[in-house]
Amino acid sequence: MTDNKTTIKSKASQDFVPIKEIRDGVVVLNNNSLRMIVMVSSLNFSLKSEGEQQAIINQYQSFLNSLDFSVQFLIQSRDLNIEPYLEVLRKKEAEQTDELLRMQTKEYVEFVREFVKATKIVNKNFYIVVPYDPALLGTKQTGPVFNFINKLFGSKQKEKEQSEKDKLNEYKPQLQQRVDTVIQGLSRTGVKTAPLNTEELIELFYTLYNPGETENIKLPQTQ
């Protein structure tokens, strides 16, 4: 008697990530649309005077009304990791020659650790995702038949990859113009902005898809 067993084929984690590649500070999605991400500083609105608050609101409203393309706002909340700071304090404690100062430093380390443990402190990062959807970037074909063809015509595949790279270089300036529009508009509200480079984008998406695993991870250097 033969048992009929159903084989469940697990998918790779990449199958659930809609990103084809990250290159030159640009995220290329599986549908070949492009994204650049701008990190935005926070603003303590409640400490502003009533006049300043109204001015910020008016500038932000003008910024939104000036856009002729959609943007996405992303807020990333993560528990604050104080271990690197505590490690610096432990080194200072070991270097102290005065016994009183050494004891005070040790007590301060314990105080900070217990305070953070008792009080949940969250670090928030703010981002704006700027899209561009060119129609000319080719769609990569996959499957056994296409894999066989790609092996037979490897040079053709290289030409196609080079063509896609050329198209990315062609469309990136248009995406950059949108990013510049966002940066200029937000600067009038008093916040600071900075587009993420390739390495920063990789780290951001790694933390999004691997929460809790990035405290001490060292990501590979990118070209």
Whether the Cβ atoms of residue 161 and residue 141 lie closer than 8 Å to each other: no
Instruction: Check residue 60 and give its pLDDT.
Output: 93
Residue ranges for the chain with pLDDT beneath 50: 6-7, 136-143, 145-146, 148-149, 155, 157, 214, 216-223
Task: Please give the Cα distance from 11 to 159 (Å, whole number).
Answer: 29
Q: What is the pLDDT of residues 112-133, one digit of tens each?
A: 888 877 777 777 899 999 999 8
Instruction: Check residue 208 and give its pLDDT.
Output: 83
Instruction: Check residue 13 and give its pLDDT.
Output: 58
Number of H helices, E strands in the chain: 6, 6
Q: Which tokens hold the place of 146?
A: 């296409």
Whether the Cβ atoms of residue 167 and residue 74 lie closer than 8 Å to each other: no
Domain range annotation of the chain: 21-78+124-136+172-209, 81-120
Between the two ends of the chain, the Cα-to-Cα distance in Å is: 58
Q: How many CA atoms lie within 13 A of 112 on its CB side?
A: 16
Task: Name residue 61's amino acid.
Answer: Q
Instruction: Check residue 38 and give its pLDDT.
Output: 96
User: Residue 198 CB: number of other CB atoms within 10 A?
Assistant: 16
Instruction: Check residue 146 and give its pLDDT.
Output: 41
Whether the Cβ atoms of residue 115 and residue 159 lie closer than 8 Å to each other: no
Instruction: Check residue 74 and give its pLDDT.
Output: 92
Whether the Cβ atoms of residue 186 and residue 40 lie closer than 8 Å to each other: yes
Strand partners, 37: 129
Sequence-ordered list of residues with C-beta below 8 angstroms from that of 99, at least 6 positions apart, any chain: none
CATH for the 21-78+124-136+172-209 domain, from 1.10.10, 2.60.120, 3.30.70, 3.40.50: 3.30.70
Instruction: Check residue 220 and give its pLDDT.
Output: 41
Task: Name residue 223's amino acid.
Answer: Q
Beta pairing class for 122-132 and 72-79: antiparallel
Instruction: Check residue 163 and give its pLDDT.
Output: 62
Instruction: Check residue 99 and give its pLDDT.
Output: 87
Helix, strand or coil for residue 75? Answer: strand
